[in-house]
Amino acid sequence: MAQIKGLFVTARGGVEEVKQAFDAVGGELIVLENPDEGQIIEAVKDVDVAMTFGSAGTRSIFESMDRCQGWVGFGHGFDGADLDAAVDNGIILANTASFGTDEVSNQAIMHLLICSRKFVLHDKLVKNGTWTREHLAPMGHLPFQTLGIIGTGNIGRAVGRKAKAFGLRVVAYDPYVSSWDTKEMGFERAASINEVCEQADYLTLHTMLNEDTFQMIGDPQFKIMKPTAYLINVSRGKCVDEAALIRALNDGEIAGAGLDTFEQEPTPADNPLLKMDNVSVTSHYASYSEVAFTRGLTQLGEEGVRIALGQWPMSLINPTVQATIPPRDPARAWGTF
């Protein structure tokens, strides 16, 4: 068997973790640090697969990938890649879904608990020297309340499982998951986004960003949510109409929010959300832990090796490409982590 060759585009290190999978099969890994698009286009001409830690796949790059069979991106999201261009050019796209499932789901639960206990306000009061039992009501009581989940992939399912430990009823909507699978998860199935919004005491988002999910939560949804409800978003900031969220919070249409992501990142210092005592915020770090990132980078290399060896990846994100390229062997589970 000819030696496989992979390209790793990175601005944040991770070379040794990605290289493990290529070393395991006697492959070669070429590393480009902080390249421009022109350098990537030249480099992909001489490799079997490309992997990236932060560089989006563009049409120009995919059109240059004659020998190169696939493009693997680190992380859960893939809104930075041109999916149509990849299919047009027969390029397999994959990511490292599941690497930070525990971290992201824990972050969602953290924001839920912070909102439930009005932590932002009371932390601020105590630190400013005010010891008071005012401003307590209304205070959350999680058992028998409803968690609404939009998106039941790896992370959404993990959030639901953990929420049930707090006694929450879980109602979920995902148009790509069957009703029997939803039942197997132990969740109640909603027929639409609005149905989830109407029922939720806490609404949490776990979807990809695409044309269907862009600003899927906006004025219409906030107007039908309970005035005591909270929005939790650890997916993509642009899944929420941020201006509508600010209006809903100012008008008392919902009680508060917990946000790890924003429409613009870094979010401007004058963003009204940063000044609200009923909004908890973090800086889009939900997926991070040292363990998770090591696992994700190792997984990045493993997916690259699968593609280079003629297998499908575990985390295929453009399944329509299956109709445009020759058949491949199914993905086989193996791990160096």
265 is catalytic: yes
| Cα–Cα dist 284/236, whole Å | 9
CATH of domain 101-281: 3.40.50.720
Domain range summary for the chain, segments of one domain joined by + = 5-99+290-323, 101-281
Q: How far apart are CA 226 and CA 29, in angstroms?
A: 53
Nearest of 112, 209, 228, 211 to residue 168 by alpha carbon? 112
Question: For the chain, which residues score pLDDT lower than 50?
Answer: 336-337
Is CATH 3.40.50.300 correct for 5-99+290-323?
no
Question: Active site residue: 284, 295, 302, 306, which one?
Answer: 284
pLDDT attached to residue 32: 95
User: What pLDDT was estimated at residue 77?
Assistant: 74
Torsion of CA 164, 167, 168, 174, to 10 degrees: 20
Per-residue pLDDT of 123-151, as tens digits, reads 999 999 999 999 999 998 999 999 999 99
Residue 204: in which H helix or E strand, if any? strand 202-205
CB 278 within 8 A of CB 250: no
pLDDT score at 76: 81
Q: How far apart are CA 10 and CA 35, in angstroms?
A: 8
Q: Identify whether the C-beta of residue 28 lies closer than 8 Å to the C-beta of residue 304.
A: no
Looking at residue 337, its pLDDT comes to 39
pLDDT of residue 143: 97
Catalytic annotation on 188? no
- Which tokens sit at 60? 């120009």
Q: Rounded to whole angstroms, what are the CA distances from 132 to 118, 279, 280?
A: 13, 20, 20
Phi, psi of 229 (to 5 degrees): -85, 155
Catalytic residue among 111, 206, 236, 295: 236
Identify whether 236 is a catalytic site residue.
Answer: yes
Q: What is the pTM for the complete model shown?
A: 0.91
Please name every residue paired with 33 in a beta bridge, in sequence order, or none if there are none: 10
> How far is it between the farthest Cα atoms of the chain?
72
